[in-house]
Structure 1
């Protein structure tokens, strides 16, 4: 195969379905199945969970594979270790992308871990999530690759903008600036062949009201008008990139650098 994968022998009960792949638009992520509180592949009896590592200090986790045929108590296999900060939460990405190029040898999916962070501001707060993607292969053996990419996935910030009645009047009652960042990932329809096909990564970034800018002091802006009470799209941080797999680094890389949008995806310090 084109990518080295650490072999992990799953329980004998873990078998790939003969179905060609999950239903839905070709290349689009397919929803994972819920089973016993875990998320499972759309068309194979393999489930994933992120759990605290009992053998390590606080903040260390294990990405686990389990057999969906039972409660998982006797079919757990440690796959990868994760470390998260005190204000982070890890969870399985609730989708998987089937890779058709592996069907001759078995089945393969891109699966992910979401790393969620939260912070409180005075009168507001922020959330930020990154997607860590891995390749899972199921055939004669089963394996999970190391991290293939790490991307901003979603973020939101709520910044207080009213501190007295004059501010409320000047802002027409819109007393918070709101910022939203979201992303999507799918197979690139123009380059979906091979074992590690290209991916399309799209982002969209908006702000409310129209005049809101994270790098500017809203208290110094003119009073809002009714026309300002709608969302503004930051087109610089709403972009599309093709992700190609680099065999040398064993990671997906963008076809061109992404713009610096840390003001949306990182927290205010």
Structure 2
């Protein structure tokens, strides 16, 4: 009897706003039972927002223009809110190519939707969740020698956003990032050819402690958006292609 009581109490205390995994198919992401799907609509440039509908009630997906460098897809998570609404997201990808390199980055924009599944035009949270950049660093045989054959600087950024319980009617999120650079000492703010020559021991991928961090985001009802427990550092060297 005591065991049964504890089990019931645990069920009642479970968070009401937990993230549900979605399966991405074509231009929509749906719950496992197919009852709810997240699609994307475009109001006007450059606003793309999610909507939540039953599987057969979503409008046609966005059409990508030829040569576009910006892409959009639904986030593969969904949170149901006590008021009947949802939290749903859009992953916005941006890519850029230039002489001797290029990169791509993805930002997650999270929106609060009403019980009908409609979102406003402004996200309640926007954070980078991934990036890969490569920048040419050799332009001559002398440069190759100074760089020990490592003729590209490479930058990586990876982040996760996970539910960490509830605060009132809105979930709390933990945001954890990892930023890396190759080779040791690589920086987009400095000319590597003006530094001392690289050694074989420098040809390693190094974690950047400044841009490898964790923050907790809580919804600020007055501001109408999520706020971190402390300010985020400037990591544009990793997240802007």
What TM bracket, shorter-length normalisation?
0.7 to 0.9
Is the 8 Å Cα contact of residues 133 and 155 (structure 2) preserved in structure 1? yes
8 Å CA contact 2:40–2:49 kept in 1: the answer is yes
Consecutive unaligned residues in structure 2, runs of 5 or more: 1-10, 61-67
Give the conservation status (yes or no) of the 8 Å contact 2:17–2:170: no
Q: Could you tell me which residue of structure 2 aligns to residue 40 of structure 1?
A: 30
Cα distance in 2, alignment partners of residues 135 and 43 from structure 1: 22
Q: Deviations over 1:78-136 (max 9, x none)?
A: 9xxxxxxx63211112x21545x73xx65x65321011111112110121221100234
TM-aligned CA distance change 1:232 to 1:28, over 3 Å: farther
Secondary structure, aligned partner of 1:192: strand
Q: Which residue of 2 aligns with 1:16?
A: none
Report deviation, 1:198.
1.5
- 1:159 pairs with 2:116: no
Are positions 1:257 and 2:236 aligned together? no
Q: Does 1:122 align with 2:112?
A: no
Classify the secondary structure of the residue corresponding to 1:207: strand
State the alpha-carbon separation in 2 of the partners of residues 232 and 259 from structure 1.
18
Match of 1:209 in 2: 183
* DSSP-derived class of the 1:143 partner: coil
| 1:207–1:27 CA distance, 2 compared to 1 (3 A) | farther
1:240 is aligned to 2:227: no
Deviation at 1:35, TM superposition (A): 4.6
2:54 to 67, 83, 91: 67
Query: Partner of 2:173 in structure 1?
Result: 199
* TM-score when normalising by structure 1: 0.70
User: Where does residue 90 of structure 1 map in the other structure?
Assistant: 72
SS in 1 for 2:185: coil
Deviation at 1:161, TM superposition (A): 0.7
- Taking the aligned partners of 1:196 and 1:176, their CA distance within structure 2 comes to 44
Task: Verify the 8 A CA contact 2:53 2:117 in the aligned structure 1.
Answer: no
Q: What TM-score, normalized by structure 2, do the two folds share?
A: 0.77
Following the alignment from structure 2 to structure 1, what is the Cα–Cα distance between the partners of residues 131 and 118?
A: 27
2:202 paired with 1:228 = yes
CA RMSD of aligned residues (A): 2.9
Decide whether the 8 Å contact of 2:161 with 2:173 is kept in 1.
yes
Q: CA deviation at 1:266?
A: 2.2
Q: What does residue 147 of structure 2 align with?
A: 171
Does the 8 A contact of 1:131 with 1:153 survive in 2?
yes
Query: Is the 8 Å Cα contact of residues 197 and 244 (structure 1) preserved in structure 2?
Result: yes
- Is contact 1:134–1:144 with CA below 8 Å preserved after alignment? no
Aligned residues: 218
Secondary structure of the 2:171 match is: coil
Task: Please state how far the C-alpha of 1:143 moved relative to its aligned partner.
Answer: 2.9
Shift of the 124–231 alpha-carbon distance from structure 1 to 2, 3 Å rule, reads: same
- Normalized per residue, the structure richer in helix is 2
1:76 aligns with 2:63: no
Tell me which residue corresponds to 1:132: 109
Give the counterpart of 2:192 among 218, 223, 231.
218
